[in-house]
Amino acid sequence: MSVAKFSIEIDEFKSIEELDAADVKLLQLAQKIAENAYAPYSNFYVGAVAMLNNNQIITGTNQENASYPVGTCAERVLLAIAATSFPNIPLKTMAISYLNKNGLNNHPISPCGMCRQYLLEYEQRVKQPIRLILGGQVGKVYIIKSVADLLPLNFSADDFKK
């Protein structure tokens, strides 16, 4: 038997003030766009903003539904917009933020498991890493160089090959 070890490298910043101007712009827009989410059940509003390779900026917010689990996360809303409106144009960077009306807003959140898989497939499809900026309304900010780092034991199209 052997032991396999997987690790992830995350750049951690004390606050948004330590980021470069382009990253500040994306994260601030994600913080603001979170207010547009439809989250009447959880009161947990999520905003996602992406810069595409063509420098277009697109946004998405989570959309809840009384018929749980019909809702859709902000990341998947954004990727559906990207795939429909800008097919095959890679995302350079995606910033994700949230507004928790029931509690704290002071630490980064990470995409859920379903969104990680969805983001990874998009990253593989366009053959370019998606850089992630994760932050709350205040506090620490994480930057992750590739979605693949969040899902080292992933399921992909390669698993269908014979």
The residues carrying an active-site annotation are 75
Q: How many residues does the chain have?
A: 162
Kindly provide the residue ranges of all beta strands, DSSP E only, lying in the chain, ordered along the sequence: 11-13, 44-52, 57-61, 91-100, 131-135, 141-144
Contacts of 58 (CB under 8 A, 6+ apart): 49, 50, 52, 78, 81, 82, 85, 86
